[in-house]
Amino acid sequence: MNEREKMISGEWYQPECEELKCDRFRAKEFCMKYNSLLPEQIDKKQEILNSLLGNAGNNSVIEPNFFCDYGYNIEFDGFVYINHNSVFLDCAKIKIGADTFIGPNCGFYTAIHPIDFKTRVKGLECAKPITIGKGVWIGGNVTVLPGVEIGDYSVIGAGSVVTKNIPANVVAAGNPCRILRQID
């Protein structure tokens, strides 16, 4: 199994291998091009998203600035709106359901580094996927950590740090993010 296959399957891998470095350079080049486009260059933006992402959904909008590690691990299941200054560390899959809205300055981080210093300095890492259901609203300045699932139609309050799964149809907020109430 090569390092890219290990990464996608959630095993420990070496991110500094040549293949993954090339993949990251490719993604960063696409992000730079995307972020430099004028607001009215909608067709060109969609073209870049279609080339960069695993699935760009239906006419999804990502406001600049947008950054990701690989791009091919990001999948939208329909229309998704992402406001300014988003960061997707997509070492594992990041799947976002249709009709989801994401506020500015949000981060989605799938990468995990070893706790043990001696292992960490060897450069190994692993990743766990993030799954966000359909119709979700994520407020500004939210951080979603590795392995988290957010259920359909839930609302995540601004400034939250989502460390654990959030079920469908709830309002949740805080650091760490916790359920505040059900949505009727």
- DSSP assignment letter at 4: H
Contact 157, 174 (CB under 8 A): yes
Of 42, 50, 51, 113, the active-site residue reads: 113
Give residue 151's identity as a one-letter amino acid code.
G
Sheet strands (E) in 90-169? 94-97, 100-102, 107-109, 111-112, 126-127, 130-132, 137-138, 143-144, 149-150, 155-156, 161-162
- For every residue of 20-89, DSSP letters joined together read HHHHHHHHHHHHHHHHHS-TT-HHHHHHHHHHHSSEETTT-EEPSPEEES-STTEEEES-EEE-SSEEEE
CA-CA distances (angstroms) from residue 87 to 32, 67, 84, 110?
13, 5, 10, 11
Establish whether 113 is a catalytic residue: yes
Return the active site residues: 113
